[in-house]
Amino acid sequence: MIPHAEELLDTSLGRAALPRRAWLRGAGGKGPAWSREGAHRRMVVTLEGLLAVTSDGPVGLHWEECPEGLPADRSDLPAGVIELFLGEEEQPLVALVVPDEGAWELPEGVVWEDLREIGPELGDTDVAAAVTASGMAHWHRRHGFSPETGEPTEVTASGWVRRAPDGRHHFPRTDTAVIMAVVDSRDRLLLARGPSWPEGRLSVLAGFVEPGESLEAAVAREVQEEVSVGVDSVRYVGSQPWPFPGSLMVAFMARTGDQPDAPAVEDLEHDEIAEAHWFSREELTAALEAREIGLPGRISIARQLIERWYGGPLPVAEEIRGSVRG
């Protein structure tokens, strides 16, 4: 488990970490130092981030136990498959990144699943491995060519680097986003709907951090831009990796002063926000029980922020399907 201060959020995808042992990945053209010749465990993920999961019994990643003596030249791996060293927990843990679902034959009792659906059910080791493998799979899918020259890149350092023909190295990137529960002087929570979301689908505000901007400044800017509300204070409460395709969601509680019952329509940034409303706890409870609104699912840090303000689990767990911000 990752240590959390008592006041921080305990998120579904950020609750655990693997001993990554980065020095074992190999670099500078050297082979993997984690030694593929010894016993290890490996899982499978597609370039779209779908994971091989056991379908009978408790939900968990499908790990293949690999004995000693696998070929060091990787001749056992089909073309297009990327071998990614995840870390070491008693023995090396490896992910095989395959092009698509049809490129790998799953054994009986194993199916492809989306991390969004199974994340809350996975154990600590599985969730840490799944988040890493899914995020890296998305990165490999988008970085097969050098952004400088357009030439194909090759995979090195046990899946953690892509090297261009000119010798330049390209490393995985994470896009930082802020996500915030905005609360007014009457202790009401602000919830909003994006233009592409279905009717009734609400969540807290979020946005990407821009160059030259602090996290706190990004919170204040996004709230001002999206709903024309100024915030008086910003407090960090946690973070969660969001590998869809490659973000880190940094969560805050933001306070503002007196506000009308709803932000004026003309004050909304309509490219980002279709509607926004302030909710008391009683109003949110009534709207949920009447099935008038739906909120993000348990895997998201948005749900954790809402329940932190609410004071506990929400009375209705169902969600209205649609785009979700971490």
Average pLDDT over residues 26-45: 79
Q: Please give the Cα distance from 226 to 325 (Å, whole number).
A: 15
What average pLDDT does the structure give for the chain?
A: 89
31 pLDDT above the threshold of 90: no
Q: What is the mean pLDDT of residues 277-296?
A: 94
pLDDT band at 318 (very low <50, low <70, confident <90, very high): low
pLDDT above 60 (res 155): yes
Q: To 10 degrees, the CA torsion angle through 288, 291, 296, 297?
A: 100
Residue 124 pLDDT more than 50?
yes
Q: Is 165 helix (H, G, I), strand (E, B) or coil?
A: coil
Amino acid letter for position 299: I
Q: Helix or strand or coil: residue 254?
A: strand
What's the token pair of residue 47? 């370039």
Q: In the chain, where does the domain assigned CATH 3.90.79.10 lie?
A: 175-310
Is pTM, for the whole model, over 0.85? yes
What would the mean pLDDT of 112-141 be, rounded to a whole number?
A: 95
> Does position 320 have pLDDT exceeding 60, yes or no?
no
222-231 pLDDT per residue, tens: 999 999 999 9
User: What whole-number distance in Å separates Cα of residue 100 and Cα of residue 294?
Assistant: 32
pLDDT, residue 106, reads 93
Say if residue 325's pLDDT is above 60. Answer: no
What would the two tokens of residue 304 be?
């954790």
Checking if the pLDDT of 4 tops 50, the result is no
pLDDT of residue 324: 47
Judged against a pLDDT cut of 70, whether residue 5 lies above it is answered with no
Q: What does the pLDDT look like over 67-86, one tens digit per residue? A: 764 544 455 678 889 999 99
Is 175-310 CATH 3.90.79.10? yes
* Closest C-alpha to 130, from 138, 176, 80: 138
* Averaged pLDDT for residues 154-161: 93
The Cα 39–Cα 66 span in angstroms is 6
User: Does 146 score more than 50 pLDDT?
Assistant: yes
Of 13-17, 35-39, 220-224, least confident by mean pLDDT is 35-39
The residues of the chain that CATH labels 3.90.79.20 are 22-170
CATH code assigned to 22-170: 3.90.79.20
* % the chain with pLDDT above 90: 75
Partners of 152 in beta bridges: 145
Q: Which residues on adjacent β-strands are paired with residue 89?
A: 91
Residue 267 has a pLDDT of 86
Which structure tokens are listed for 191?
A: 């919830």
Whether the predicted pLDDT of 29 surpasses 60: no
H or E element that contains 88: strand 82-89
Q: Which residues of 47-70 are buried (b: 16+ CB within 10 A; e: fewer)?
A: bebbbbbbeeeebbbbbeebeeeb
Pick 296 or 9 by higher pLDDT: 296
Residues 49-69: tens digit of each pLDDT: 999 999 888 899 999 998 764
